Amino acid sequence: MRASYQAMKPFMTSVEAERMLRIAEERGVFRTYAEEALNEGIGEALPQRFDAAFNYIQHGIDGLGNSDDVRTAAQRTNYFRETYAYGTDIQAPGVEPFFTHPDLLRVASEVTGRALVVPAIVYANILTPGQELAIHTDVPEFRGADRKRMPQWLLVTMLHSGLFDDYRIPIATCVSWFGANPGGAFAYYPEGGQGPRESMAATHNTAILIDTDKVFHGVERVTPKSHFPEIDKGATLTFEGDGHWSLADPKGVEVARYDWSDLRYSISWKAYCFQDESEEATWASKSDDLTLALILDVLERELRHRGVLSTSRPEPTTFAQLLVDTFIRFPTKKSA
């Protein structure tokens, strides 16, 4: 079944769109996605999204392979991220009109078929020249299980397993683009991982609203420059004024300078979507929440049912890799 989605071209007024650029400048410093917390209790030795990272290292952005060594591949996908809003915590002054934008609320309801839309998160991503984003699905949420309490790869595995659908909180995601970089198209698979791949140019002041928790998607390589600097955990991207940005290594040494036109800047908006207030109340009351122990037991039983596991539960890192390998099926071919 083809996923429901809606493109918005243009998305905001020209004044509102320019304000989104100013918010990034006022933020000042962007840090790498690799700095998000690691897992505790299950798969501690693995990155939060090792599912997407390992697939990218093996197959690249288009499923045809990756000519980069592991280190370079990791740096290409170690983009910069900052959170602008999380629930009632507004961390970027001026983002409030975006957070509750009436067009986002309306389109989210239309795309999901759910009447009650509750804005939840706004975050910004910046990709530098030569970077790209591995094909993946976003981190979903379930009653009692979200990215603040569970490893991100585990939440993704839960969704792909189909075993926790009754607990899932449907999330609508809008990805919007601001700035002038000509590369970094949004690649997505609206007919499923084995269906054709489609793309949407990351054009200034455009957006797409889609269920990124279920639809595989990624970012094609941002228009590269002659030199691709190392971008390790601890690197920073800092606004220097007059449209200029400075990339520094973990020691604070500048390794590259960019203009706005070099960078791919996107803002993602996520909202919980409920059928009605009763469904929202069940989520808010936490009266029927999942626990980590229950989640792992359910997944383990399914592994045994499928004949994948016949011995005792493996140690956490091996168990994590087994779960991902069993339940997540990435796209394996490029569209025609």
Q: pLDDT (tens digit, 9 = 90+) per residue, 239-288?
A: 999 999 999 999 999 999 999 999 999 999 999 999 999 999 988 888 88
Contact (Cβ atoms closer than 8 angstroms) between residue 213 and residue 140: yes
Give pLDDT tens digits for 67-83: 778 888 888 889 999 99
Contact (Cβ atoms closer than 8 angstroms) between residue 330 and residue 156: no
Give pLDDT tens digits for 125-136: 999 999 999 899
pLDDT greater than 90 at residue 48: no
Provide the CB-side half-sphere exposure for 112 (13 A, CA). Answer: 30
- Banded pLDDT at 335 (limits 50, 70, 90): very low
Check residue 225 and give its pLDDT.
Answer: 86
Q: Are strands 80-86 and 116-127 parallel, antiparallel or unpaired?
A: antiparallel
Contacts of 108 (CB under 8 A, 6+ apart): 117, 172, 174, 209, 271, 273
Domain 5-290 has what CATH class? mainly beta
Q: Where are the domains of the chain?
A: 5-290
pLDDT greater than 60 at residue 302: yes
What mean pLDDT, rounded, does the chain reach? 90
Rounded CA separation 177/175 (Å): 7
Cβ neighbour number for residue 303 with a 10 Å cutoff: 18
Tell me: cis bond preceding 190? Omega within 30 of 0 counts: no
Cβ neighbour number for residue 269 with a 10 Å cutoff: 25
Check residue 278 and give its pLDDT.
Answer: 92
Check residue 54 and give its pLDDT.
Answer: 75
Check residue 182 and give its pLDDT.
Answer: 76
Rounded CA separation 108/118 (Å): 10
- Banded pLDDT at 44 (limits 50, 70, 90): low
Give pLDDT tens digits for 151-183: 999 999 999 999 999 999 989 999 999 998 878
How buried is residue 226: exposed, middle or buried, by Cβ count under 10 Å (0-12/13-18/19+)?
A: exposed
Rounded CA separation 213/147 (Å): 13
Rounded CA separation 164/232 (Å): 35
Q: What is the value of pTM for the model shown?
A: 0.88
Check residue 74 and give its pLDDT.
Answer: 84
DSSP assignment letter at 182? S
Mean pLDDT of 15-21: 96
